[in-house]
Each structure stands twice: as C-alpha cells, then as structure tokens.
Structure 1
C-alpha cells in the first residue's frame, strides 16, 4: 500500500509541475518524492530532473529569472535541503546529498552603505557524478565538485573540490585523496 501511495504521489507531483511550469520543467515521472517539496521557477527559469529523484523532504528548489537547475539520475536529497540558483546549479548522476545542505550560486553585492538591493554576483555550481555531500554543508557560487568527491559534514565549500578527494572544514580544503 505504501508503494502505491508513493507512486500516486510521484504522478501527482509530475502533473502539478507540468501544469504549473509547462516546458520549463522537465522531469521523469518515476521518482520517490517524500515530505514537503517546494519548487519555484521564476520568469524564464528552467528545471530538469532525471530519473528517480529521491527526497525525504523538505526540499526547496528556487530558480531566479533566467536561471537553470539540472539534477541528474538517481540523486538523493535527505531532509531540509535548499538550492537557490541565479545562474545555474548542475548536479550529476548518483549524487547523495545529506540533510541540511544549502547550495547557492550567487552572493549579494555590497557597497559602502551595505547590501545593494536587487544586485547579485553569480557563478555556476557544478557537482559531478557520484559525489557525496555530507550533512550541514554549504556550497557557494562558482564551486565545481569533481566526480566521486566527498564533502565532509559541516563544511563551507568556497573553492573547487577535485575528483576523488575528501574536503572538510571552513573553508573546505582537501584533506585526503580517495584513490
């Protein structure tokens, strides 16, 4: 009965997003969507989700005007994850993202008075295939996380993480090679 409910929920989720966003939202009908999921695509923004997205919810995805979010096949999000894109966030296949992870591809512009309203600096975020992002991690603009990389719990990633390495700390630094 539980599998039937999850299947019906996935179909409902698919239909809801297609009706709301049309061709700007491309997702596979077979997914395992649990918990609260809030997806917001602003003007000209796009969202592409591959086969078998698995979420524990809540999952928050927000694409600002003209931004893109691409999520590959077999991606898992644990609870309370958030992605906000002003440029693009690309997540490869078989990526595991633990709880309380925040991914943002932009910062607010600041001047001598403070934060300048409605002005952002932005750069794409890319997480390649088979990466693992551990709990309570923040990934900032312009970061490229390589294939098979592991980002340790609580890290703040401000620079690229090479493929097949473990990065940890604030700011995150390579601590070990996985090969």
Structure 2
C-alpha cells in the first residue's frame, strides 16, 4: 500500500479504485481501464483478457463491410495515455504488446497517393476522398515508444522495439529496434550472443 501512496498519492489511489470498479462493470476481462476511454464500433472490436489503458484512449472500428470485426487486440496488451487505434479492415495486435502514450495506429487513409492514375485529386476535400486500406499486424512482445505513428500495410515482427517519435511505413523484422522518420533498423537481437547488436 505504501508503494501506491508514494506513486499515486491519496487522490490518485481513489481515481484508480473508481476506474477499477468501472472497468469490472463495463470491461470484465480487462485489468484496468483508465477513463475517459472512447470505444467506437464496439461490436467490431475483439479485446483479449488483461487489457490495460491510460487515460484518453480511443479505439475506433469502422469496418467497410459491416460484417466482420476490424480490430483485434490480444491478451495482456497495455496501451498508455492518448493512444488512437483505428481500423476499417484489419488491425491485429498480438499478446503482451506494450504501447506508450500518444501512439497512432491505422490501417486506412483518406485517398490514394501512389503516383498513379488512381491518385486522389486535391480539389476533393480529404474527408470525401475514397478510403484506402492495408492490414496492420503487430506481433507478440512488441514495445512501441512514445509518439509513434504506424501506417497502413505495416507488419511489426515478434519482439521488436519501435523508438519514440518514429513513423513506421514498412515492415519491421522480428527482434529488431527501429527508429526515425521513416523508421529504419538500428539494432537486431543476436540470440547466439544474447545481446542487441548494431551489426545489421
């Protein structure tokens, strides 16, 4: 109890207790939801057990076909303050993923910008452009740092780490550390040496 008092203070402990009670009423399988928490399209979202959030998180499922779920969150996933996850087709987050604050994950964008005949016209307001999408997969044991953006079509491999403020535009191999805009591999885990190495 002393540790909680030192970390949160009396008012913080009261807030935690109220959030815990509210969690168990509305999200029985979750460990702790810190409110406010915005869950849009709940029937299109699958969340495993042991889920934890910070304050101000938003999970927004708006599947284009309205028949299938579009966001899948595994067991023991922890997301911190002001995380925004949105899915129109498929966003999959594996077990034991840790997501820091102010992270954005999406499988879709307003329009197409590939440099071909399907490109969106800037004269059309962004919210009226056709939604384009590509599946996002975040495998187990991934750690995503503060202020990261994960864009459509990305797969982040098992055990990888995404450094703070990175923008991930392409696949990340398993057991890798990626940083930057756009994200690039700076280290990989060497299982023979039991250490992270810059030799990539």
> What are the equivalent positions in structure 2 for 1:10-159 lying under 5 Å apart?
10-14=23-27, 29-41=29-41, 46-65=44-63, 66=66, 68-109=70-111, 110-111=120-121, 113-114=123-124, 115=126, 117-159=128-170
Corresponding residue for 1:18? none
TM-score normalised over the length of structure 1: 0.84
Bigger strand fraction:
1
- Asked if 1 retains the 8 angstrom alpha-carbon contact of 2:176 and 2:189, the reply is yes
Q: Secondary structure in 2 aligned to 1:11?
A: helix
Mind listing any 5+ residue stretches in structure 2 that lack a counterpart? 1-12, 112-119, 191-200
TM-score normalised over the length of structure 2: 0.76
Moved over 3 A (4+): 1-7
Corresponding residue for 2:5? none
- How many equivalent pairs are there? 164
CA RMSD after TM alignment: 1.9
Mind listing any 5+ residue stretches in structure 1 that lack a counterpart? 15-27
Say which one has the larger Rg: 2
